[in-house]
Amino acid sequence: MSEIQNINLHQANYSAPAKKSKKSKNKNKAQETQSQPKDKVELSGKKDKEVSQTEPQEKELRLSPFVENATEPVVTEFSINKLTRGKSGETTTINIIHTNDLHGKLTPGKGKGGMAYVGGKIEELKKENPNYLLADGGDISYAPPYSDRNRFNPMPEIMNDLGYHVMNAGNHEFQWEHKQYGGHTGNPNPDLIDNYKELTEALKFPMVCANAVDSKTGERPDYVTPYIIQKVGDINVGVIGVVTDELATQAHPQVGDGWKILNPADTMNKFIPEMKAKGADIIVGIAHDDLKANQNTIRNTHGIDIMLGGHDHQKTDVPISVKNADGQEVPLVEAGAYGAMVGKLEVEIDPSSKKIRNITSTLYPINSDSVKPDKEVESIIANWKGK
């Protein structure tokens, strides 16, 4: 394993240039789970977003790009809160295992990634600590040939087998048409909301998305879950998700029809107090948007402790430190794309105050020559190859 880097969060404040997006706005889970009842939410348009959120000028520092040939885990250890240990010196540690932008990449590319190998690493990490949360940042689909041909399948079956607890909806979870799939060159007549529902029914764990509502009514469909509270050991972990408002792509300009995407920080600020009132000890956000946007969401959100990212396929060798609206340092992490990396956060928590004391972040490269594949996932992939 690589040498651990001891980083003071104040020294690791990165603002990475956002990856160019192909989006076009104009075309443009033993462990207990609680989910929030759905209700009407006041709409917040782009103009409100620009007014309510500030973007302070920061020195631009270069963030490590996605490293295709990485062979060693990248480990970073830092202190979140300068807390003194209690008389007993006890701590509670939970692990958060995270992926994002898997894009249905079932088999390795140049020896990197592949869902059987991702599954193998996840199963290995799960054995390290029984108190873990397994989460994904969204975009599990949209990659040829299998997910493309079979819409989001077989990713739900794979993720169910691996025991994911929660995923966030990415923009590509809004991608596929219900019943009538026309493919990239077809002429589909989509009912995108019904398709979102079909995906939630295929998953044996919640898909969260707090800021997506029906564009006509302003209400959240009853199958859209804004957040969960997951029991992890002795810690109640609240997980809330938000998605980019750039749902459409040039290839699929109709994606997003029927949906209204609310301001992410405003939405989190609405639900986080409710999550804490229901017993959440720490709050983990999952934001499917580019790094710059996710940093801005953190700055304008109260009560958030950790943010998992996605969407722009970045790899945060060193977690990006951002102060939330309360002035608390919040780490933002992202694990590349296409299953080339699996991330793990070891979160050390004071058992009495339930405050985070330390976090160790590790990114594991998924190389087919060094990671043992998961046999169950291999079997699922083999079965779908014939469909």
Question: What 3-state DSSP class applies to 338?
Answer: coil
Question: What 3-state DSSP class applies to 277?
Answer: helix
The C-alpha atoms of residue 227 and residue 210 are separated, in whole angstroms, by: 7
Mean pLDDT per 10-residue section of the chain, whose length is 387 residues: 34 37 42 43 34 37 42 67 48 96 91 95 98 96 57 90 97 65 38 68 96 92 95 97 86 74 98 98 97 97 98 92 94 95 95 91 94 97 81
Q: Which two tokens stand for residue 323?
A: 């102060």
Residue with tokens 């919040």: 330
CA distances from 124 to 26, 77, 130 (A): 44, 21, 11
Q: Which residue spans within 100-234 are E strands per DSSP?
A: 132-136, 166-168, 207-208, 212-214, 227-232
pLDDT recorded at residue 143: 58
Instruction: Please answer whether residues 288 and 138 qualify as being in contact, where contact means their C-beta atoms are separated by less than 8 angstroms.
Output: yes
Q: Which two tokens stand for residue 283?
A: 């709050």
pTM of the model: 0.79
The C-alpha atoms of residue 147 and residue 53 are separated, in whole angstroms, by: 37
Query: Which residues 6+ apart lie within 8 Å of 169 measured at CB?
Result: 138, 196, 207, 208, 209, 212, 241, 243, 288
pLDDT recorded at residue 386: 67
In the chain, what is the straight-line distance between the N-terminal and C-terminal CA atoms, in Å?
40
pLDDT recorded at residue 319: 92
Which amino acid, 328?
Q
The C-alpha atoms of residue 119 and residue 310 are separated, in whole angstroms, by: 19
The C-alpha atoms of residue 272 and residue 283 are separated, in whole angstroms, by: 8
Domains and CATH numbers, the chain: 29-58+68-78+89-385 (3.60.21.10)
The C-alpha atoms of residue 288 and residue 138 are separated, in whole angstroms, by: 7
Query: Which residues 6+ apart lie within 8 Å of 75 measured at CB?
Result: 1, 2, 3, 4, 5, 360, 361, 362
Nearest to 271 by CA among 301, 296, 247, 243: 301
Sign of the dihedral through C-alpha 156, 246, 222, 265:
positive
Nearest to 317 by CA among 59, 94, 66: 66
How buried is residue 56: exposed, middle or buried, by Cβ count under 10 Å (0-12/13-18/19+)?
Answer: exposed
pLDDT recorded at residue 13: 35
Which amino acid, 202?
A
Nearest to 374 by CA among 164, 155, 158, 205: 158
